[in-house]
Copies of this chain bind each other. A is one copy, B any other.
Amino acid sequence: MKKTNIFRPRSVAVIGASNKPKKLGFQVLKNIIDGGYSGKVYPINIDQKVKKILGLKSYTSISNIKGKVDMAVFLIPAKFVAAALEECGKKRIKLAVIITAGFKEVGSEGLAMENELLKIAKKYGVKILGPNCLGYIDTSINLNASFAPSYPKKGGVAVISQSGAICTAILDWASKSNIGFSKFFSLGNKPDITELDLISYLSKDNETKVIIAYLENIAGNSNGGDFRKIASNTTIKKPIIILKAGTSSKGASAISSHTGSLAGSDQSITALFKQSGVIRASSLEDMFDWAESFGAAKLPGGNRVAIITNAGGPGVMTTDAIEGTHLELATLSQETTEKLKKTLPSSANTHNPIDVIGDADAVRYKNALNIVEKDDGVDSILVLLTPQTSTQITDTAKLVIKKIKNSNKTIIPVFMGGRKINKGIDIFEKNSLAVFEYPERAVKALEKISYCQSCEMGIKKIYKPKKIYINKAKKQKIDNILVKSLHDFSGRQALIAGAEADIIIKNYGLNTVKSVFAATRAKAIAESNKIGYPVVMKIDSPDIVHKSDVGGVIVGIKNETEAGRAYSQIMKNVKKVNPKAVINGVVIYEMISGGMDFFIGAKRDPLYGPMIGFGLGGIYLEVLKDVTFRLAPLSTFDIEKMIEELKSVKIIEGARGKKALNKKWIIDAMIKVSNLMINHPQISEMDINPFKVYEDHTIALDNRFILNQ
């Protein structure tokens, strides 16, 4: 993005402007004029007979314009865009908003045309928004360079949308809810300007308080910035709420490792958002609710919620909704309770939830609010109202609005009902304030705006990933193994397990189990003697991934006799199941017991790089899926959060009288795996399962790598 703000042009050309009201070329020009844009506007229409459009002088080409043109909006058919863009380039415009469709989205021919546009744009230093988009809106300069059917009012919400239909739905919603927008971008095919550029831009935009985005895919990297960095730098200043569509995991490809089966592409998005402080919405409804709350309510100083209600039932429902969130029911101070007792009728409940009783008028609500807002143990107040006989709906709405504006506490109204209650709802909406009809939704929104105050990325701090130093010799050793395996497995998926996998792991400073390879029965016996009994024997074959399943593993071998017998048995078992398997021999391991079985894995996401997983291991891994992911490079903070997120955190912290495990060892191992994946891009997936954790050390017991061909 250039230093000059390309989204605030001083002059705009509309290429394909038209006098025919049904044409987009008419609608867009009209939107620009009607919006009240104060810069110069140049309609362009190749028809020489057209002299004026909507009262403005029409040009046949941008090159005929004498003055400077900063931006052009394209509405001409796809096949004519390239030539027009070339002319625009020569005219030194900075931004091309290509509304025209018929590019990548229609197939290879369109894609070729789109690539052609990119080439031209690069040549002249022009940025492209679109093609195949709705255009954009900047309310601060009254520019509506779009064919959006309605123009939003000014406000603090910036919108980015990858779907034109969602754009129109959002605008329609906003006009009903009276929500104001700062900027509104329709991304289209986004071959040039992506969400990354826009987030980066909006991050510094003073009019924008909160960014909401509907995206179907998210660029990992684009134009010299990566999502994680840009989003992190933004969310420490203002919230980003993203609805990422396309989460369903239809047609996942063949599964080659534990991590492969556990880490779908949606996990990488989840990790990405967590690590950059992005709030994820799973529906438009949530996105709207939260955007409205962020835009309208004060951010609470903490998570303690007071409830004021005119009925018990809704109070109970709200308490239910709070349970299981990061919020908690505030404990009112004795002073507060006493003051409430003095003011409220004797049958009122002066503990949280505070019940001002069914016959409460607006004044009683006001009295209660006045008292509760002064309680230092309260961060936010939910004001619940049901339409009872003597309820003053509009008066109560008005006083709550006054309070929202003047109180230093976060106050969120919940007006429950339908027809009658609408009078109250309307008043809030006229004031562009968030109001809810159901307590559950209010609680969800309040959680989002409360949580951000203390959220993962802190809105305060960015945690630096940890890098470790691996000397060249070690790195080379590993690369040799990787190269050799890629060669051996040429054309197939390359798998490294057993002794070679242990070497890689060991070179990154992780403990592995003592093991020796033995190609023959005699060697197997000799090596078993050397390691010391009991030992474990496992088949060593590139063709066998799940060794136990084919009888390729025998544990608890206690002496020489058993060692020999085990070797023969394994060979027999394996040959029976897979007679054609290439068999190298067996690997003999020191037998490890005790400890807790965890799992460390990694998978390289094509867009976002290596994703590291940690969770409960052993046989419970794929059954219980108590696993969490983050993208490399990992920070210590990331790993601590991962551990906290697991259900099995209790095992680490010491469940049922057992001693706690030392998290330090887990963090250390995870940092090593994160570095390993970054340093060796040939590795596409890896599993350590089980990763044995003891009180004072860890062992990477069973290790496996899958390489990119």
Contacts and interface: CB of A to CB of B under 8 A. Distances in A.
B245 A310 contact: no
Given A147-B389, A165-B312, A282 B176 contact: no
A348 to B, nearest CB: 12
A321 B389 CA distance: 40
Interface stretch (A193-201, A599-607, A646-654): A646-654
Contacts of A225: none
A112 to B, nearest CB: 18
A126 B312 CA distance: 29
A246 interface: yes
A619 B548 contact: no
A218 interface: no
B347 A106 contact: yes
Contacts of A249: 323
Interface residues of A, number: 79
B166 A311 contact: yes
Contact of A285 (B149, B162, B438, B651): B438
B657 A546 contact: yes
Contacts of A441: 283, 285
Interface in A416-445: 416-422, 437-441
A216 interface: yes
A317 B658 CA distance: 45
Contacts of A515: none
A624 B622 contact: no
A347 B106 CA distance: 8
B416 A163 contact: no
Contacts of A616: 624
Nearest to A107: B347
A214 B27 CA distance: 51
A248 interface: yes
A693 to B, nearest CB: 14
Contact of A626 (B27, B421, B624, B651): B624
A150 B347 CA distance: 26
A283 B149 contact: no
A24 to B, nearest CB: 8
Given A166-B313, A312-B165, A650-B623, A248 B319 contact: yes
Interface stretch (A33-41, A167-175, A701-709): A167-175
Contacts of A648: 623-624
Contacts of A316: 216, 245-246
Interface string A379-420: 000000011110000000000000000000000000011111
B623 A624 contact: no
B440 A282 contact: yes
A282 B312 CA distance: 17
Given A163-B311, A283-B438, A388 B320 contact: no
A245 B313 contact: yes
A438 B312 CA distance: 30
Nearest to A105: B347
A418 B176 contact: yes
B283 A440 contact: yes
A619 B651 contact: yes
Nearest to A651: B623
A548 B658 CA distance: 9
A216 B313 contact: yes
A624 B63 CA distance: 70
Contacts of A440: 282-283, 285
A420 B148 CA distance: 13
A669 interface: no
Given A176-B419, A285-B440, A165 B386 contact: yes
B173 A418 contact: yes
A172 B245 contact: no
B313 A168 contact: no
Given A169-B416, A249-B323, 20 more contacts: A147-B389, A149-B388, A163-B312, A164-B311, A165-B310, A165-B313, A168-B388, A169-B314, A169-B387, A174-B418, A246-B316, A247-B323, A248-B319, A283-B317, A285-B441, A619-B656, A623-B655, A624-B624, A624-B626, A624-B648
Interface of A: 27, 106, 147, 149-150, 162-166, 168-169, 172-177, 214, 216, 243, 245-249, 282-285, 310-314, 316-317, 319-323, 347, 358, 386-389, 416-422, 437-441, 546, 548-549, 616, 619-620, 622-626, 647-648, 650-651, 655-658
8 pairs of A and B residues whose beta carbons are closest in the complex: A165-B311, A176-B418, A163-B313, A549-B657, A172-B417, A173-B418, A248-B323, A165-B386
